[in-house]
C-alpha cells in the first residue's frame, strides 16, 4: 500500500475554503459591474474536466446558459454567444497552457470579465485574467479546485436568486477537508487490492454520467493514458448502450462512477449490464461514504469530490505497483508539439 | 473491393432534399407560433453525433443558444433552460429508442415544439413529436439526415437574419447527391487498400475537431465498437495534447478527420504530431475532394458529409475483409438492458 499524503491534501482543501471571502467579493464585484448573459468554462484536459460538474449544477438549478469548451476549439471558433456580457472562467494547472492563456486574452479584448484557476498566480494565465485563484498545490489539485469553483458558482446562484440555502451549502463545504480525508482512509486497503489485481491490465472503460462524467473523463485520459500509458476510454453511461457496450466481454475491465446526482439511474443501468457480461467491474458508489455535516440534498453536488478522492488512492496505488510514477511523461512538456 | 451502393445512396440524399418545401413551411410555422429562446438537440449514439455539426454551425453563426444532450441525461436532468420556449430536435434511426421518445413526451408536456428525425414515420418517436422527417433509408442514413437537419437549421438562421446567402446554400446542398457519389467513387480503391492493411488492427484512435468531431465520435463508437467489435476511442483533436497523445507509439493506429471549418488548425497540429511518432496514421482531408457547385465559403459546413461518405466506404470494406457484417450485434436489440 502506497503511503498517503492526507496531511498535505487536507491543507490544500482548507486553502481552497479560505478564499471564501475573496470569492464572495469577486463575484459581487463582477455582477455589480457587468450584465452577465452567459458563462463559459474553458480549459484543456483535466482542467476542462474539473469544470464539467459546474455546467451540470447550472443545468440543474439555473436559467442562465453555461458552456464548456476545449480552449483550442474556443479560440478558433469564437462562439457568437461569447460577448462582453459573458463571464469567462478558465483553468490551467500550470497557468502556462498557451491556448488557455489565449482564451483569457480574447475575453479581455472583448471586454468580458475573466476568472482564472491555476497552480501559481505568477504565470501567464495569472497575468491574463481579471481575477485569479491559485492553490499552490502539489497534490489534491482537483478537489481543491472544485471547492473554489463551487464557491464561485454558488455565489452566482445566490446572487441570481436561484439557490436558497447558500449558508447551509457553505457549511457543508467546510466539512470536506475532514470528510474527504476519511473517504481516503476508508478506501486505503481496497485501493491497494485493486491496484494489485489490475496492474497488468491494458485497457479500461471508465463510465460516468451527469455530475460525475468529468471525473470519468479525467481518470481515463489524464490518469490512465497520460500518467500510466494504459489505454482507457471515457464513456458517458447514457451513451454506453448506443455503441461501446458491444465490445464488452467477460474480461473487459470496466470502472463505473455512481454519483448521487439526478443521473444515478444511468450509472445503475450500466452497472447491471456490465456485471452480467464482464467479470471485471469496479463500481465506485459515492453513496457508500459517510459525509457527516453534509445534508442529503447536497450529496449529489459532492459526488465528483468523493470520486476524485477515491480515484486518487486507486491511481497512486496502481502507479506504485506498476513502478510507473504519475509524473512520468513521454511527450508532454518534453518534445515540441 | 466491396460493391458500392451508390445508386441507393444517391436516392436517399435526393429524398432528403425533396423535403425542402415542407421544411421551410415547418420552420416558419414553428417561429410564427412560438417565441424560441434556445434549441436542444437530443439523441443517443450515432443519432446524437449527427446533430453535433448543427451545434457547431449555430456556435459560429448565431446568437441563439443551442445545446446537445444524450437523451438519458436530458430526461433525468431536465435542464432548467429547457422551457416551453425551447425548440427540441430529436433523432433516432429506429424511431424506437425509449429515452429519445421520452424526451419528445417531456417536451410535449412542457409545451415546447418538437421536430423528429427517424427512419420511419410510423414509430413511437414519429407519434410523439409535432413535426416528423423520415428518410426510409436502409443506407446513407447519416448524410441524408445531415441534409435534412441543415435545411432546418439554415431556415432558422435565415428567419433570424443571421445568414445572408440562403439561396446559395440551398443550391450548394442540391449538388450533394452527385458530389458525394463522386467522393465515394474517388476513394473506392483507397478504401479497399486501407481495409486490407487494417483488417487485423485491434485499436483505433479517431480524432476530429469542430464540425467533424461528431463524425469521429460516430466512427469510433458506432462503426468500430458497435459494428466491428474493435476498440476505438473518439478524441477531440484539441484535447489530444492534454492526455491521450501520451500513449501514441509507432504502431498506434490513428485516423484524423481534417475538415475545412474553423477548427482545421487543431487537426493539422494533431496530424503533425501523430505522423512524427506513429507509422499508422490515416488522414481524411476533406480538402482533397472536388465539390463543383459548392462555394468555398460553404465547404466547412459540408466537411462532415465528405467525412461520412468516405468513412462509409472504409467501413464497408473493412467489414467485408473481416467477414464481420456491419449489421452483426451481440447485445443491441438482442438481450435486455
Query: What are the pLDDT digits (tens) for B158-213?
Result: 999 999 999 999 999 999 999 999 999 999 999 999 999 999 999 999 999 999 99
Distance from the first to the final alpha carbon of chain B: 37
- The architecture (CATH level 2) of B177-321 comes to 3-Layer(aba) Sandwich (3.40)
Same fold, B6-173 and B177-321: yes
Residues 6+ apart with CB under 8 A from B19: B133, B148, B151
B206 grid coordinates: 479517431
Q: Give the residues across from B87 on adjacent strands.
A: B39
Given a contact cutoff of 8 angstroms between Cβ atoms, the answer to whether B36 and B287 are in contact is no
Quick one: pLDDT at residue B139?
A: 58
Alpha-carbon distance B24 to nearest alpha carbon in chain A (angstroms): 24
Q: Which CATH architecture has domain A6-173?
A: 3-Layer(aba) Sandwich (3.40)
| Tens digit of each residue's pLDDT, chain B (337 residues) | 788 899 999 999 999 999 999 999 999 999 999 999 999 999 999 999 999 999 999 999 999 999 999 999 999 999 999 999 999 999 998 899 999 999 999 999 999 999 999 888 899 999 999 999 987 776 557 899 999 999 999 999 999 999 999 999 999 999 999 999 999 999 999 999 999 999 999 999 999 999 999 999 999 999 999 999 999 999 999 999 999 999 999 999 999 999 999 999 999 999 999 999 999 999 999 999 999 999 999 999 999 999 999 999 999 999 999 999 999 999 999 999 9
Inter-chain touch B73–A238, beta carbons under 8 Å: yes
* pLDDT confidence of residue B120: 85
The closest of A287, A302, A59 to A171, measured between CA atoms, is: A302
Of A44, A99, A210, the CB nearest to B77: A210
Q: In whole angstroms, give the CA distance from residue B237 to residue B266.
A: 6
**Residue of B238, B260, B276 for testing the chain A interface, max A β-carbons within 10 Å:** B238
ipTM for the assembly? 0.97
Interchain CB distance below 8 Å, B242 and A230: no
Q: How far apart are CA A35 and CA A37, in angstroms?
A: 6
**Closest among B302, B299, B303, B241 to B266, alpha carbons compared:** B241
Residues of B in contact with A73 (CB under 8 A): 209-210, 236, 238, 263, 266
Give the closest-approach CA distance of A277 to chain B in angstroms: 10
For A44, phi then psi, to 5°, come to -135, 145
Q: What is the pLDDT of residue B254?
A: 98
Sheet holding B231-236, edge to edge: B231-236, B203-208, B253-258, B280-285
Q: Kindly state the DSSP code that residue A200 receives in the 8-state scheme.
A: T
Instruction: Report pTM.
Output: 0.97
Q: Which of A6-10, A66-70, A251-255, A326-330 has the lowest mean pLDDT?
A: A6-10
φ, ψ (nearest 5 deg) of residue B234: -80, 135
Looking at CA atoms only, how far is residue B276 from chain A in angstroms? 10
Q: Which of B316, B314, B301, B192 is nearest to B255 (CA)?
A: B314
Is A60 an interface residue toward B (CB < 8 Å)? yes
Residue B249 neighbours by CB under 8 Å, 6+ apart: B277, B278
User: Per-domain residue ranges for chain B?
Assistant: 6-173, 177-321
Q: How many CA atoms lie within 13 A of B240 on its CB side?
A: 30
B157-165 own/partner pairs: CB under 8 Å, 24+ apart: B157/B57, B157/B58, B157/B61, B157/B62, B159/B27, B159/B28, B159/B31, B160/B62, B160/B63, B160/B64, B162/B61, B162/B62, B162/B63, B163/B61, B165/B297
Amino acid at each position: 500500500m502506497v503511503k498517503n499524503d492526507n496531511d498535505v491534501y487536507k491543507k490544500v482543501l482548507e486553502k481552497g475554503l479560505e478564499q471564501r471571502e475573496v470569492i464572495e467579493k469577486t463575484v459581487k464585484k463582477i455582477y455589480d459591474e457587468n450584465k452577465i448573459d452567459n458563462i463559459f468554462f474553458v480549459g484543456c484536459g483535466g482542467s476542462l474536466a474539473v469544470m464539467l460538474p459546474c455546467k451540470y449544477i447550472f443545468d440543474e438549478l439555473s436559467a442562465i446558459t453555461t458552456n464548456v469548451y476545449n480552449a483550442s476549439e474556443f479560440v478558433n471558433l469564437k462562439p457568437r454567444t461569447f460577448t462582453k456580457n459573458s463571464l469567462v472562467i478558465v483553468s490551467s494547472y500550470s497557468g502556462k497552457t498557451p491556448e488557455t492563456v489565449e482564451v483569457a486574452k480574447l475575453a479581455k479584448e472583448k471586454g468580458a470579465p475573466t476568472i482564472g484557476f491555476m497552480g501559481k498566480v505568477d504565470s501567464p494565465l495569472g497575468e491574463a485574467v481579471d481575477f485569479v485563484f491559485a492553490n499552490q498545490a502539489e497534490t489534491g489539485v482537483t478537489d481543491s479546485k472544485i471547492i473554489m469553483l463551487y464557491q464561485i458558482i454558488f455565489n452566482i446562484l445566490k446572487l441570481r436568486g436561484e439557490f436558497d440555502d447558500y449558508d447551509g451549502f457553505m457549511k457543508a463545504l467546510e466539512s470536506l477537508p475532514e470528510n474527504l480525508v476519511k473517504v481516503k482512509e476508508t478506501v486505503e486497503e481496497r485501493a491497494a487490492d485493486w491496484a494489485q489485481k489490475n496492474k497488468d491490465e491494458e485497457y479500461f472503460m471508465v463510465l460516468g454520467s451527469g455530475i460525475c462524467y468529468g471525473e470519468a473523463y479525467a481518470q481515463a485520459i489524464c490518469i490512465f493514458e497520460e500518467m500510466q500509458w494504459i489505454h482507457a476510454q471515457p464513456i458517458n453511461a447514457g451513451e454506453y448502450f448506443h455503441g461501446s457496450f458491444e465490445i464488452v466481454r467477460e474480461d473487459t475491465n470496466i470502472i463505473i462512477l455512481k454519483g448521487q446526482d439526478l443521473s444515478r439511474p444511468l450509472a445503475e443501468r450500466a452497472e447491471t449490464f456490465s456485471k452480467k457480461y464482464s467479470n471485471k467491474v469496479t463500481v465506485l458508489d459515492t453513496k457508500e461514504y459517510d459525509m457527516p455535516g453534509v445534508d442529503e440534498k447536497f450529496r449529489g453536488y459532492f459526488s465528483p469530490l468523493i470520486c476524485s478522492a477515491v480515484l486518487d488512492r486507486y491511481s497512486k496505488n496502481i502507479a506504485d505497483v506498476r513502478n510507473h510514477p504519475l509524473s512520468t511523461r513521454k511527450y508532454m512538456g518534453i518534445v515540441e508539439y
